[in-house]
Chain A
Amino acid sequence: MTAVKTLDHNASRLLTPGFRLGTESPAFDDYELTFDLGHPLDLDAVRACLDETMRRFTREQGTDADVWLAPRLHHALRLTRREAAHRGLWRWLGVVFASDYVRWRWGPSEESSEDPEAAARTDRFDGPDYKHALARLWWMAELFRNGPDYTPVATALANQDIPNNLFRMDVAHHRPTVQAAVAVLDGRTGREANALAKAVNSAATTLVIDTIGPDNPLDPEAGLAWVSDPDIDPGRYFDEMPSGPEDPPAAEAAVTTMVDLLEDLLAEAPVRGRSTEDDPDEDSVELGSETSA
Chain B
Amino acid sequence: MKALFPYPTLFGDVTLSVTEVAIDDEPVAGRVDVDRRVVNLYGIDRAEWETARVSVVVSAPANEIEDADAPQCVAVTNCGPSNQRVSSILAPDGGTTGRWAGEILLEREYWYAHAELRAGVVATVDGAGHRVVGNSDTWTVMFDDLPNRPVNGAIKITWVDFSDPGDDKQYLQKHSDNYVYLSIDPEEPQLFLNRSFDGLEQLLADRRRRHLDRALHDQTRASIADKTWSALFNAAIESVEVDEETGEPTWPSVEWQRTVLEALLVRMYPDKAPEEALGNAWTARNTRDNPGTLQELLAPAAAVQARAPRLLRDGIRIIANELEADEEEQTQ
Asked if A30 contacts B170 (CB within 8 A), the reply is: yes
Judge whether A56 is part of the interface by a CB distance below 8 angstroms. Answer: no
Main DSSP-derived SS at the B contact region: mixed
Asked if A9 contacts B183 (CB within 8 A), the reply is: yes
Q: Which one of A63-71, A83-91, A232-240 contacts B?
A: A83-91
- On whether A82 and B145 interact (CB within 8 A), knowing A168-B253, A194-B245, the answer reads yes
Judge whether B269 is part of the interface by a CB distance below 8 angstroms. Answer: no
Contacts of B183 in A (CB 8 A): 9-10
- On whether A82 and B112 interact (CB within 8 A), knowing A30-B171, A172-B83, A210-B87, the answer reads yes
Judge whether A128 is part of the interface by a CB distance below 8 angstroms. Answer: yes
Q: Chain B: how many interface residues by the 8 Å CB criterion?
A: 48
- Shortest B275–chain A CB gap in Å is 15
Q: Which one of B13-21, B102-110, B200-208 contacts A?
A: B102-110
Asked if B86 contacts A217 (CB within 8 A), the reply is: yes
Asked if B86 contacts A85 (CB within 8 A), the reply is: no
B97-138: contact bitstring with A at CB < 8 Å (1 yes, 0 no)?
000000001011111110000001010000001111000000
Judge whether A276 is part of the interface by a CB distance below 8 angstroms. Answer: no
In the complex, what residue of chain A is closest to B187 when comparing beta carbons? A87
Q: Which one of B53-61, B71-79, B153-161, B297-305 contacts A?
A: B71-79
Asked if B130 contacts A207 (CB within 8 A), the reply is: yes
Contacts of B132 in A (CB 8 A): 205-208
Judge whether B293 is part of the interface by a CB distance below 8 angstroms. Answer: no
**Distance between Cα atoms of A128 and B252 in the complex (Å):** 11
A81 touches which one: B82, B129, B171, B245 (CB < 8 A)? Answer: B82
Main DSSP-derived SS at the A contact region: helix
Asked if B130 contacts A212 (CB within 8 A), the reply is: yes
**Distance between Cα atoms of A288 and B7 in the complex (Å):** 40
- Shortest B228–chain A CB gap in Å is 16
- Shortest B183–chain A CB gap in Å is 6
**Distance between Cα atoms of A31 and B165 in the complex (Å):** 12
Asked if B76 contacts A220 (CB within 8 A), the reply is: no
Contacts of B87 in A (CB 8 A): 210-211, 214-215
Contacts of B131 in A (CB 8 A): 206-207
Contacts of B245 in A (CB 8 A): 194, 198, 272
- On whether A81 and B5 interact (CB within 8 A), knowing A31-B171, A170-B85, the answer reads no
Asked if B89 contacts A86 (CB within 8 A), the reply is: no
B109 touches which one: A143, A170, A223, A272 (CB < 8 A)? Answer: A223
Judge whether B186 is part of the interface by a CB distance below 8 angstroms. Answer: yes
- On whether A224 and B145 interact (CB within 8 A), knowing A30-B170, A172-B83, A208-B130, the answer reads no
| 15 pairs from A and B in contact (CB 8 Å cutoff) | A9-B187, A10-B171, A10-B183, A81-B84, A81-B112, A82-B111, A85-B83, A86-B112, A87-B187, A128-B254, A139-B83, A142-B83, A206-B131, A210-B74, A211-B122
Interface residues of B (CB under 8 A from A): 3, 5-7, 50, 72, 74, 76, 78-87, 89, 105, 107-113, 120, 122, 129-132, 145, 167-171, 183-187, 244-245, 253-254
Interface residues of A (CB under 8 A from B): 8-10, 30-31, 33, 80-82, 84-88, 128-129, 139, 142-143, 168, 170, 172-174, 194, 198, 205-208, 210-212, 214-215, 217-218, 220, 223-224, 272
- Known contacts A81-B112, A82-B108, A82-B109; 9 additional CB pairs below 8 A are A8-B169, A9-B184, A87-B187, A129-B83, A174-B85, A194-B245, A218-B107, A220-B109, A272-B245
